[in-house]
């Protein structure tokens, strides 16, 4: 056990403990009795003071260790203790209920967060530039620049930056004239913002099942759900996986429906060699902090249709006439993005290729190590015509141990997520859903693993070890 190098028996001499501390290079030793229970902690400073008081190197440590020490009963609790108090304490032992040392946590040891943005390009420089220019509201050069560059990245003509991904979806629906009495088809597994936007527009969602292999909306289920009131489909490229856009666009064309792509989790993913966002009548992105490209909060609608682009611009800006100030053509919203957010976005876009390559390599590293566990199913990477991106690394484990695995991650300071709860399993949405057996089954098995920038190979190994141990114990 790697805690061994910090542990000394209470009958050790001061000299032996000094040697232990010298070897472990942690500046501290945990002192245990013969039954391995911890009785105290000694730091190199404690030893220095003991020697200065006149004790000798041959004296027993037992009489000189600090018996009033801070400890935790889980790794997570230790992290919490560090974050709550500004102590001089550098290390906290984690004890089981028999007071045996099971682990320890050092100050500043990273908590593995789920998704930390990579802001190491020009983000800060552009943000400061926007700040010092005093154009900190929603006018300024970075908004236009971000819109142009992002639309270009997607292979689409027009981009309209918004305050977040949910407002982008809402604007898309309103710009397409979707409202009371209309039905919009959405997948059962998505972040709830997709379906909430349908309600915000006053329309009714029709929630359908997902595909077994891609976990994205099932085109056959869309066909079955169409009624004379259906106006649009919102395919969601779930966890970086593109939907079957050929089928979905065919269904839309045959039935006179609009397509609004929800690309919030799939910046840069491709269907048939074309980036997501380029298929829908309007496509919506989110730039929330955990997304592949972030502006803190933020979103964007992209479209090739000039009229829709203008409509969105007006609706986003209080419905105000673009030539005549304070004359309002429609009842609009204030859904704009600030110049400061857009500045961060421009910086992010400059290195999106590197970000995606890095994420992809991280996903491969997980896949490599997870390959030894037969019961783990990774999100499919090589489905026909699809080029997914790695948003969060998404896997399926046996349902019976999914929650236990997440609990153990939590106790170890590793932030992970269970898959989205199917909309059909939530009281406020379930009456809009048809049979969604696939999504129910998949959701119960799914875990999103961290893709945080700070993650180390050791953390990936630890994550895989935890999964392995739990699966093998069922």
Ligand X SMILES: *Cc1c(COP(=O)(O)O)cnc(C)c1O
Nearer to ligand X, 243 or 320 (CB): 243
Binding segment for ligand X (CB under 6 A), chosen from 49-57, 210-218, 262-270, 326-334, is 262-270
Nearer to ligand X, 55 or 191 (CB): 191
Binding segment for ligand X (CB under 6 A), chosen from 7-15, 257-265, 336-344, 448-456, is 257-265
Binding-site member from 153, 288, 409, 419 for ligand X (CB under 6 A): 288
Burial class, 325, CB count within 10 angstroms (exposed 0-12 / middle 13-18 / buried 19+): exposed
Closest CA to 393 of 409, 385, 261: 409
Question: Is residue 397 within 8 Å of 376, Cβ to Cβ?
Answer: yes
Question: Is residue 282 within 8 Å of 301, Cβ to Cβ?
Answer: yes
SS (H, E, C) 171-228: HHHHHCCCCCCCEEEEECCCCCHHHHHHHHCCCEEEEECECCCCCCECHHHHHHHCCC
SS3 378: strand
Binding segment for ligand X (CB under 6 A), chosen from 93-101, 162-170, 344-352, 398-406, is 162-170
Binding-site member from 50, 286, 313, 448 for ligand X (CB under 6 A): 286
Nearest distance from residue 433's CB to ligand X, in Å?
17
Residue 414 pairs with which residues in a beta bridge? 112
DSSP 120-144: -SSHHHHHHHHHHTT--SS-SHHHH
Nearer to ligand X, 165 or 446 (CB): 165
Nearest distance from residue 392's CB to ligand X, in Å?
10
Nearest distance from residue 195's CB to ligand X, in Å?
9
- Contact set for ligand X, span 190-249 (CB under 6 A): 190-191, 193-194, 236
Binding segment for ligand X (CB under 6 A), chosen from 40-48, 72-80, 153-161, 189-197, is 189-197
* 422 touches ligand X (CB under 6 A): no
Q: Rounded to whole angstroms, how far apart are CA atoms 291 and 438?
A: 26
DSSP 279-302: SSSEEEEE-BTTSSS--BS-EEEE
Size of the site for ligand X (CB under 6 A): 14
Binding-site member from 240, 299, 345, 450 for ligand X (CB under 6 A): 299
Question: Is residue 142 within 8 Å of 126, Cβ to Cβ?
Answer: yes
Nearer to ligand X, 174 or 236 (CB): 236
Question: Is residue 167 within 8 Å of 287, Cβ to Cβ?
Answer: no
* 264 touches ligand X (CB under 6 A): yes
Residue whose Cβ sits closest to ligand X: 165
* 294 touches ligand X (CB under 6 A): no
* 356 touches ligand X (CB under 6 A): no
Question: Which residues, including other chains, have CB under 8 Å from residue 384's CB and lie 6 or more apart?
Answer: none
* 164 touches ligand X (CB under 6 A): yes
Closest CA to 144 of 348, 347, 349, 339: 339
Binding site for ligand X (CB under 6 A): 164-166, 190-191, 193-194, 236, 262, 264-265, 286, 288, 299
């Amino acid at each position: 056990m790697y805690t061994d190098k910090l542990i000394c028996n209470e009958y050790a001499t001061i000299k032996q403990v000094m040697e232990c501390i010298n070897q472990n290079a942690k500046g501290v030793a945990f002192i245990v009795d013969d039954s391995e229970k911890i009785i105290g902690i000694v730091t190199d400073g404690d030893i220095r003071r003991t020697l200065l008081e006149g004790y000798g190197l041959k004296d027993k440590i037992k009489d000189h260790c600090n018996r009033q020490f801070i400890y935790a009963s889980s790794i997570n609790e230790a992290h919490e203790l560090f974050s709550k108090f500004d102590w001089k304490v550098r290390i906290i032992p984690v004890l089981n209920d028999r007071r045996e040392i099971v682990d320890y946590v050092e100050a500043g040891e990273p908590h593995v967060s789920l998704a930390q943005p990579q802001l190491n390009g020009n983000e800060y420089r552009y943000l400061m530039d926007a700040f010092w220019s005093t154009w900190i509201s929603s006018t300024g050069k970075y908004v236009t620049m971000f819109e142009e560059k992002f639309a270009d990245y997607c292979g689409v003509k027009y981009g309209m930056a918004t305050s977040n991904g949910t407002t982008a979806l809402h604007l898309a629906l309103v710009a397409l004239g979707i409202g009371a009495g209309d039905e919009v088809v959405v997948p059962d597994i998505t972040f709830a913002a997709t379906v909430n936007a349908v309600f915000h527009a006053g329309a009714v969602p029709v929630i359908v099942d997902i595909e077994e292999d891609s976990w994205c909306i099932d085109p056959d289920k869309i066909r079955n759900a169409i009624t004379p009131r259906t106006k649009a489909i919102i395919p969601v490229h779930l966890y970086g996986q593109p939907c079957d856009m050929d089928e979905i666009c065919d269904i839309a064309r045959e039935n006179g429906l609009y397509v609004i792509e929800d690309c919030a989790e799939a910046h840069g993913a491709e269907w048939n060699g074309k980036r997501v966002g380029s298929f829908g009548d309007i496509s919506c992105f989110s730039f929330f902090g955990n997304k592949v490209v972030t502006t803190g909060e933020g979103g964007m609608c992209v479209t090739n249709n000039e009229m829709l682009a203008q409509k969105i611009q007006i609706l986003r800006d209080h419905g105000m006439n673009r030539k005549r100030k304070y004359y309002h053509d429609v009842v609009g919203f204030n859904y704009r993005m600030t110049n400061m957010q857009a500045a961060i976005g421009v910086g992010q876009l400059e290195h999106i290729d590197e970000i995606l390559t890095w994420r992809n390599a991280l996903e491969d590293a997980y896949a490599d190590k997870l390959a030894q566990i037969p019961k783990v199913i990774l999100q499919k990477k090589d489905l026909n015509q699809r080029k997914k991106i790695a948003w969060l690394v998404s896997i399926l484990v046996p349902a019976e141990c999914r929650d236990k695995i997440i609990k153990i991650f939590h106790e170890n300071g590793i932030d992970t997520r269970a898959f989205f709860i199917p909309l059909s399993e939530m009281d406020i949405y379930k009456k809009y859903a048809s049979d969604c057996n696939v999504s129910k089954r998949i959701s119960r098995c799914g875990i999103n693993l961290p893709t945080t920038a700070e993650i180390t190979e050791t953390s990936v190994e630890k994550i895989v070890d935890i999964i392995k141990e739990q699966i093998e114990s069922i």
